Each structure stands twice: as structure tokens, then as C-alpha cells.
Amino acid sequence: METLFERYRNLMVLLVMLMLQIVGLAMQVHRGDSGHMSLDPHDSKGVRLIRLWANAIVSPPERLFHSSGTSASWLWQNYFDLRHVRDENKDLQKNLDRLRLEQAALLEDARQGQRLQALLSFQEKYIYKTQAAQIIGTSGSDQSRLFYIDKGADSKLERDMAVITADGIVGKVREVYPRSAQVLVINDQSSGAGVILETTRIRGILRGNALGQPQIVGLMVDSRIQPGERVLTAGGDEIFPRGLPVGVVEKVVRDPDQDGFIRVIVKPAAHLDRLDEVLVITSVQPRFPPEQTQDMATSEALKGSEVAEEKAQKKASEIMAERLPGLIDPNLPPDQQPRNDTSNPNPVTHPPMPLHPDRFTPGTDMSTGQSVTGDATSKDAPDENAAKKLATPPSKLETKPQSKSETKSGNPPVKAPAKPDKDATPQRNP
């Protein structure tokens, strides 16, 4: 008698296989903050291991195909040519075959040389550090627009590094294996890059659509956006440096999912369907040509010497200031002031007394225009008064009334300068 399992074993095996895969899928997706389901941007350890194995199996044959130096179109075309020529003449076929092979190989080499030369010249001019890489394979699915390059962790590639060509941006490194890396192209539906329209300065997010066209999504209807406008990287996504060419606006269509929004279809600057070599930006630290580097080093050296000289001057002036005596020490009585010290080998010189002092002369009474110092022998008195006047804070000069004791002690009363009054009318000098 057949058991239930024997009777439905085909179906049960199918169900088991499907259930296992569904459980596996459920472990790889999660609900995002916005409530939408999304895949983890970085694979878990187990998933990464599976991808690593698959890549390790597929990459060597792909490298083999790539290193043969012949393209499939060349192989395809020549295959039929050879068959055709062989029918016509066998002897001629051999020569023709050899010549065509050589020609095709040379042509392919020449083309590759030109491409590499252009890439190298771009790389030399480019300000960031880059690593050249060649494309060896794809995902094989048009739902997953990515490709594999022949450089990996051994070449110090890391995740989220920008991938570009001389024409424009291509994508970003999604996964890195020891000797290869997975690059997610900008026209994939799950990719994203911050871009800006060159003229209108409208910012948006670039991602691919079902047809494999890059498009800017989430833009409000704006009549200023016209076909032909250049699109550049905005630099806010921390992957692509700012200002790299992305493409040009091809057309503007309404967003079918959101009213009032548009999608800007972009014609990519890089030929995403026919890529052979790319550059991976490994460091965004500026890399200058040797001449500029030398100039900057010289400039830095000069700047350093100037700073050192300035410091030396400042230090010398401080030492001099410490050695030189001050004119007035507020902590000492007037007769012991440093300026009275005759031991100073360089005595302070004073300006000669005016022959006809007026009321503006320091040390004279403003009202009478005569010297307030009765002691004619004291030549330094006017200077002392002037020094005191200078040493006294202005607030004291304005508010503190002159006491009689000060006048008696020989200190002349100093008239406080008139405080400017906003409301007062300007007085004319008689």
C-alpha cells in the first residue's frame, strides 16, 4: 500500500524546496523605517559566503574569456567568414584566416590601446586616486544591473567606492572579493546617487528604471527642466565626488505613481552597455601633479620660515621689554619712579619746554595759559603731570572732582576733557 509520502513525494519535495527558499528569503529582507520592505545593503555572513563561492566558480572562466583578447562579436563574425571562405578556396582560406586573425587581433589591440591611453591620460589629470580595472562579467540578469571587475580586496578596493570612466560616473562598488568586485551600475533600480542639474541647480536622486535608463525621481513639476541640460553629481551621497558628469536630460515624463511629480530620464554620459575599462576612486584625498606638489611644499616651507621668524621677533621683543625699565611704576612713590633712576645708561630724553606755552601746552592751566607748576627748578614736572594724566583712567578724569590737597601737593588740577554730548549743540571755537 502506498504511503502518503510515496504518493505525493514529487509535490512534497517541491513544497519543501520552496519553503526552504522562502524562509531564506525572509531572513534577507527587513522592513525599513518608512514601512517599506528592503534588502539589506550589505549581505549577511552566510549570504556573502554563497556569493563568494559563486563568484569563485564563475570568475576564472570569465577571466579566461577576457584574457583571450578577442571579443564575441569578432569571434562570431569571423566564424561565419571562415566557413564561407573555406568553401571557396582552402588555400586562400588559410592565408585569409591568418591575416584576418592578425588584423582583428591588431585592431582589437589598437582599440584597447587607445581606450587605455585615454583612460590613463584622464587618470593622470584626475585629482583623486584611482585604480583602473577591467570588466570581466555581469550578473546575467537584466533585473540586476551589475558587473564584475578584475580588481578586489587585493587591490585595496572597498565597498561604496565610486566607479567612473573618463566620460562620467558608472556606479559604485557593492561587494568586494579577494580578486574581484561587484559594481552596481547607476541604471539599476536599486541604485541611488545624488545629482544636480547644472543650470537650474535642482537636486534629485538618480536611479534606474525597468528599461535600464537612469532617471531622476522625486522632482516636482518644473518647466525649467529641459532636454539637453547637463546632470552632475551633487556630492552629498558620500560616494561620488561633486561635479562629475552623469549625463544629459533626455526627456521629462510624469511620475505615474505620484501626482505632481516628474521623472527626468537621463542619457548617461558613460556608455553603460559597452564598458570595458573603468576607474575606481580609491581615495578622495586630492592628488596633485608633481609640479603642483613641489610648489605647495615650497609654499609650506616659506610659510613655516615666516612664522618662525615672526616668533623669534616676538620673543626678542619680549626679552627686551623685560630688560628695559618702565617709565612709571604705579606701586612706587614719585621720587622712586624708574625714570628718576640715573643709573640707566640710556636716560629718557624729554622734549624741550616751549618758549611760549599756551593753554594747550601740557602742564598749563587751561584758563590762564600759564604753567601751574610753581617750582621752576623742577623741569620734569610738566612731563610728570602729563604722565599722570595719561595714566589716569578717563572715567576718573571725567567724574572725580579735583581736591584741594592734590593742588597743594604740587599736582596741578587737570581739567577733564569735555564729554561729548549727543544733545548738545556743537560749540564754535572762539
- Give the residues lining the site for another protein (CB under 8 A): 9-10, 13-14, 17-18, 21-22, 24-25, 28-29, 36-39, 47, 50-51, 53-55, 57-58, 61-62, 65, 71-73, 135-144, 146-148, 174-175, 182, 184, 188-190, 209-212, 273-274
Amino acid at residue number 287: R
> Over the range 153-175, which residues count as b (16 or more CB within 10 Å of their CB) and which as e?
eebebeeebbbbbbbbbbbbbbb
C-beta of 257 vs 421, nearer to another protein = 257
> Who's near 116: CB < 8 A, 6+ residues apart?
132, 277
CB of 66 to another protein, least distance (A): 8
Q: How far is residue 85's CA from residue 50's CA, in Å, rounded to a whole number?
A: 47
CB of 75 to another protein, least distance (A): 9
C-beta of 16 vs 332, nearer to another protein = 16
CB of 48 to another protein, least distance (A): 10
C-beta of 16 vs 106, nearer to another protein = 16
> Who's near 143: CB < 8 A, 6+ residues apart?
189
C-beta of 123 vs 190, nearer to another protein = 190
C-beta of 167 vs 198, nearer to another protein = 167
C-beta of 151 vs 339, nearer to another protein = 151
**Residue 414 CB neighbours (<10 A):** 19
**Residue 134 CB neighbours (<10 A):** 17
CB of 139 to another protein, least distance (A): 4
By CB atoms closer than 10 A (0-12, 13-18, 19+), residue 145 is: buried
CB of 145 to another protein, least distance (A): 9
C-beta of 49 vs 307, nearer to another protein = 49
Q: How far is residue 373's CA from residue 412's CA, in Å, rounded to a whole number?
A: 7
At CA 232, angle to CA 227 and CA 238, rounded to 5? 145
At CA 352, angle to CA 348 and CA 354, rounded to 5? 150
CB of 143 to another protein, least distance (A): 7
CB of 84 to another protein, least distance (A): 19
65: cell is 574569456
In this structure, are residues 269 and 246 in contact, taking their beta carbons and an 8 Å threshold?
Answer: yes
Q: How far is residue 136's CA from residue 153's CA, in Å, rounded to a whole number?
A: 16
CB of 116 to another protein, least distance (A): 18
C-beta of 17 vs 301, nearer to another protein = 17
